[in-house]
C-alpha cells in the first residue's frame, strides 16, 4: 500500500489523508479515475492514460483540474516518493464536497487524490496454466466507456466470479461480448483474434490498444467487431487484458475448458510480444 499519497495539493502519509463525508465521491461515486502501471519506475503509456482521463472528465462534465504536464509531474512525484520498482499509480478526481443534492454544485473545488501500490502482475502459474472465468449478463449502465468511480455493478460482478472461485467474469449484453469486470476480453478462433469494438459498452483499455497494435505489427490476423456469445463459448482461446493483468489466458469458462484447457499458441505469442514490447519501451524511457 502507498506510504505517501497526494491529496488536494499536498503529499502526506496515507494514514493522514482525510476527506469530508460530504465528498460527492463518497456520497454518489461522482468521480473519475485512472490506473497507470509503472515498470522500473517508468510509467507505461502515460499520455494514453491521461488522454482517457481527460475524456472521462469531459464525459461527466467535470473540469479536469490539471494539464497533462501537471498530471505527469504528480505521477513522477508519487513514483519518486514511494518504494518499488514496479508500481501501480491510482489517480482520482471527484466533484468535491457539497450539501447532498444530485444536481451538480456550483463553485465546488474538485477533490484530487493520488496513490501508489506495488504492481503485482500475474504469477507464473497463472500465465502458464491460465485462469478461470464465469459468464454473466452485463447489467451495468450504458456509459461503460467512462472510467467512473461508480463501480458497484463491476464489484457485484467481480464478487460473483470470486464466489465461484474464478478470477474474472466475461459479460454479454444482448447476445454479444462486452468485457470483464476489470478487463477487456479477446477471443481466438481459427488463429484469428477477435475483439469487440470500443463503443459505449466497454472501457477503451490501454492494454487492449497495445494488444491490437502488436497483432497488427506482427501480422497476427485480428478483427474488431461484435463478438457473439456463441463465438465466445466456442472459442479456441479467450484472453483478458488490463494494465495489471497484462494479457492472461482464460482456460475455463463456467467450469468448462476453453479449447484444450491450456493457454493456446496465439496467447503464448501475444504474451511474449507484450513482454518484449514492455521491455523495449522501458529501455527507451530509462
Ligand atoms: N474494462 C474495465 C471495466 C476495467 O476496469 C479495465 C481496467 O481496470 C479494463 C477494461 C482494462 O483497461 P486498461 O487496459 O486500461 O487497464
Does residue 283 carry a pLDDT above 90? no
Q: For the chain, what is the radius of gyration of the CA atoms?
A: 19
Does residue 2 carry a pLDDT above 70? no
3-state class of 162 per DSSP? helix
Does residue 1 carry a pLDDT above 80? no
Q: Strand 111-118 relative to strand 4-7: parallel, antiparallel, unpaired?
A: antiparallel
DSSP characters over 21-71: TTBHHHHH--EEEEEEEEETTEESSHHHHHHHHHHHHHHTT---SS-HHHH
Which set of grid coordinates corresponds to residue 71? 498530471
Neighbours of 128 (CB within 10 A): 13
Alpha helices in the chain (DSSP H): 24-28, 46-59, 68-81, 124-129, 152-163, 206-217, 229-233, 265-285
Q: Which residues line ligand 1 (CB under 6 A)?
A: 35, 154, 179, 182-184, 203, 205-208, 241-243
Distance (angstroms) between ligand 1 centre and the Cα of 71 equals 20
Distance (angstroms) between ligand 1 centre and the Cα of 208 equals 9
Q: Strand 237-242 relative to strand 246-253: parallel, antiparallel, unpaired?
A: antiparallel
The pick from 203, 212, 277 for probing ligand 1's pocket by mutation, whose C-beta has the most ligand atoms within 8 angstroms, reads 203
Does residue 14 carry a pLDDT above 70? yes
Q: List, for residues 56-110, the tens digit of each pLDDT value.
A: 999 999 999 999 999 999 999 999 999 999 999 999 999 999 999 999 999 899 9
Cβ(215)–Cβ(222) below 8 Å: yes
Name the residue with the closest Cα to ligand 1, atom 8.
Answer: 182
The residue annotated as part of the active site, out of 99, 124, 143, 147, is 147
Distance (angstroms) between ligand 1 centre and the Cα of 179 equals 9
Cα-Cα-Cα-Cα torsion 64, 23, 154, 264, nearest 10 degrees, comes to: 50
Does residue 209 carry a pLDDT above 70? yes
Q: What per-residue confidence (pLDDT) applies to 282?
A: 84
Name the residue with the closest Cα to ligand 1, atom 12.
Answer: 205
DSSP 108: P
Q: How far apart are CA 212 and CA 271, in angstroms?
A: 12
Name the residue with the closest Cα to ligand 1, atom 1.
Answer: 183
Q: What per-residue confidence (pLDDT) applies to 17?
A: 98
The mean per-residue pLDDT over the stretch 226-244 comes to 98
Does residue 50 carry a pLDDT above 90? yes
Q: How many helices (H) and strands (E) does the chain have?
A: 8, 15
Ligand 1 atom at minimum distance from 37 CA: 16
Confidence of residue 286 (pLDDT cuts 50, 70, 90): confident
Does residue 39 carry a pLDDT above 90? yes
Distance (angstroms) between ligand 1 centre and the Cα of 184 equals 6
Q: Is 147 a catalytic residue?
A: yes
Amino acid at each position: 500500500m502507498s506510504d505517501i499519497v497526494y491529496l488536494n495539493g499536498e503529499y502526506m502519509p496515507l494514514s493522514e489523508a482525510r476527506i469530508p463525508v460530504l465528498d460527492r465521491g463518497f456520497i454518489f461515486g461522482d468521480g473519475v479515475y485512472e490506473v497507470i502501471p509503472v515498470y522500473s519506475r517508468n510509467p507505461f503509456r502515460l499520455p494514453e492514460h491521461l488522454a482517457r482521463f481527460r475524456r472521462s472528465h469531459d464525459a461527466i462534465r467535470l473540469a479536469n483540474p490539471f494539464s497533462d504536464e501537471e498530471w505527469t509531474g504528480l505521477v513522477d512525484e508519487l513514483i519518486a516518493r514511494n518504494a518499488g520498482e514496479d508500481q501501480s499509480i491510482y489517480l482520482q478526481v471527484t466533484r468535491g464536497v457539497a450539501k447532498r443534492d444530485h444536481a451538480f454544485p456550483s463553485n465546488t473545488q474538485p477533490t484530487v487524490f493520488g496513490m501508489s501500490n506495488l504492481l503485482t502482475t500475474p504469477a507464473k502459474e497463472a500465465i502458464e496454466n491460465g485462469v478461470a472465468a464465469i459468464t454473466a449478463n452485463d447489467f451495468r449502465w450504458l456509459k461503460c466507456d467512462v472510467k467512473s468511480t461508480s463501480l458497484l455493478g463491476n464489484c457485484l460482478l467481480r464478487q460473483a466470479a470470486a464466489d465461484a472461485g474464478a478470477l474474472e467474469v466475461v459479460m454479454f449484453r444482448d447476445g454479444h461480448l462486452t468485457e470483464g469486470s476489470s478487463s477487456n476480453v479477446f477471443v481466438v478462433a481459427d488463429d484469428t483474434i477477435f475483439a469487440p469494438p470500443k463503443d459505449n459498452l466497454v472501457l477503451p483499455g490501454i492494454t487492449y490498444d497495445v494488444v491490437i497494435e502488436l497483432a497488427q505489427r506482427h501480422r497476427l490476423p485480428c478483427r474488431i467487431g461484435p463478438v457473439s456469445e456463441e463465438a465466445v463459448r466456442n472459442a479456441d482461446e479467450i484472453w483478458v487484458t488490463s494494465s495489471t493483468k497484462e494479457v492472461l489466458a482464460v482456460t475455463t469458462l463456467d467450469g468448462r475448458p476453453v479449447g484444450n484447457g491450456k493457454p493456446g499458441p496465439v496467447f503464448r505469442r501475444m504474451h511474449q510480444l507484450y513482454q518484449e514490447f514492455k521491455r523495449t519501451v522501458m529501455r527507451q524511457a530509462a
